[in-house]
Amino acid sequence: MKRDKTSKDTVAGRRSFLVGAGLAGAAGAAVAATRGGAAQAVTAEARPQTHDRGGGGYHVTEHVRRYYRSTTV
């Protein structure tokens, strides 16, 4: 169940703030014109909850290994 404490007033206030700050206005239009960034490589993938065992290029460094070791009871 999703907790949702946002009222319509705060949602409207947040959107007004964003527009007033220029996020969706002038500068935002200019950002849209640039069509994203310099590279399109996706650095994340959606996958069902699973554990990254290092196949994705993550190497357990000695520092992290020490951290894990220190948490074992």
Binding site for another protein (CB under 8 A): 2-7, 10-11, 13-15, 17-52, 55-58, 61, 63-64, 67
Least distance CB 7 / another protein (angstroms): 7
In this complex, which beta carbon is closest to another protein, that of residue 4 or of residue 73? 4
CA distances from 18 to 15, 31, 36 (A): 5, 15, 20
In this complex, which beta carbon is closest to another protein, that of residue 63 or of residue 73? 63
Residue pair 19/25 in contact (Cβ under 8 Å)? The answer is: yes
In this complex, which beta carbon is closest to another protein, that of residue 4 or of residue 72? 4
CA distance 9 to 7: 5
